[in-house]
Amino acid sequence: MQIDLGGRTALVTGSTSGIGYAAAESLARAGATVLVHGRGDERVSGAVRRIREATGADVGGVAADLGNAEGAARIIADVPDVDILVNNAGIFSGMGFFDIPDEEWQRIFEVNLLSAIRLARHYTPRMVDRGWGRVLFVSSDSALQIPTEMVHYGVTKTAQLSVSRGLAQTVAGTGVTVNCVLPGPTLTEGVREFIQDQVGRDMPFEAAERVFIAEHRPTSLIRRLLRPAEVANMITYLASENAAGTTGGALRVDGGLVSTIIP
């Protein structure tokens, strides 16, 4: 299968590391002009430099805090139009339900859900006008199996499924597709820290990974964390012409973690 995104411009939010970075690099390798996003200028410029060196592609960057409406407005002002929007920016925190204050609920909703809504609300109509576009929400297996240790995170990821499906229905027949990608636990900087907090820091990480999967995510069929590039492969496919028949969907890249034969 050949994927050619030449002539397309892609914005990947939260792409200075982890899944977002892998997606930005993968889209660049497929020929897209990629815009990296992060909260700080230094991390953005570093990611842009690394992707350029790795791919030789046209890569730019934009820095803004998507935890508020002003940050989304800043991105839109700097990047008024794109063909591919990958709503990847997200945060999580381990916290028992009774300990989650209103402020934390609001913070995680702003970043994980409202930032994606704000950007999709701006960019999608422009895609419709051109008759082609791709809007992707990076959700999570936690949308389907709410983790007890971070209910608030799971709620935002479930909400992304509703937003994605509703938006896909809104732009039906326009040439614009809208989908969710549901990664399972993936080896990112944040997940590494989370696992060490859960199982302890007194063992090598490889051992901690095995313990975490066995004790906290035992339904995984691959018996390991996913790697960011494995999720990026699905994102790049859905961003391509090859996936023109796929919209309104929730596509799992979870290593078989969710114990169901349907999403």
Give catalytic residue positions: 153
Neighbours of 85 (CB within 10 A): 26
Phi and psi for 60 in degrees, rounded to 5?
A: -125, -175
CA 90 to CA 39: how far, in whole Å? 12
Report the length, in residues, of the chain. Answer: 263
Q: For residues 12 and 21, give the distance between their C-alpha atoms in angstroms, rounded to a whole number.
A: 8
* Contact criterion met (CB below 8 Å) for 138 and 239: no
Strands annotated E in 82-201: 84-87, 133-138, 176-183
Residue 36 — φ and ψ, nearest 5°? Answer: -85, 140
Q: Are 144 and 258 in contact (CB under 8 A)?
A: yes
Q: How far apart are CA 151 and CA 104, in angstroms?
A: 11
Distance CA 244, CA 14 (A): 25
